Each structure stands twice: as C-alpha cells, then as structure tokens.
Amino acid sequence: MTKQIKLRIFPSGEVQAETLGIRGKKCMDYIAILEQLLDAEAIDSERTSEYWLEENTSLASSQTHQAEEALQINPSQIKRGA
C-alpha cells in the first residue's frame, strides 16, 4: 500500500488527518509535520492496529486490517495571518 495522508477540513476550521500505509511509530512523525505546516497543535490522536506493526511486517489482508492514525486539530489553535 502506498503511504498517504488523508486530510479533512471542516467548515469550523477543524482538521482531521489519517495516515494510511504507514506502519509502526513512524506515523507519529507526521503529526509534528502537520502541526508545523498548519501552525497548530494536535488535540487528539488515536493509535490503530497499523501503529503496532513493525514497518516490515505484512498484513494478512490490507482490506480487513487497513488502519488509520486520526488527528484532530482545534481550529482555535491555528494562527491566521502573517
């Protein structure tokens, strides 16, 4: 599976991000990158079955074991303007 980050931006300004195809603790690196890009702070994250896998561990079925790392960013934490 290709490594991906799926972003959802809501009208309230809340941003949710999911990592796909990133196994192990490396997915946590992307939280810091997103916080930096958005100039925001993560308020919640969830670890899924993919988080607990070694990077080189194969999944029995990518469709049944597809995991996501969810990240929510509080819109009031996003600094606007430059």
| Domain locations in the chain as residue ranges | 4-77
pLDDT band at 31 (very low <50, low <70, confident <90, very high): confident
pLDDT band at 28 (very low <50, low <70, confident <90, very high): confident
| Nearest-angstrom CA–CA distance, 27 and 50 | 9
Q: Tell whether the model's pLDDT for residue 29 goes beyond 80.
A: yes
% of residues, the chain, pLDDT over 70:
65
Quick one: which of 25, 6, 24 has its CA closest to 15? 6
Tell me the mean pLDDT in the region 53-77: 53
More confident residue, 79 or 39: 39
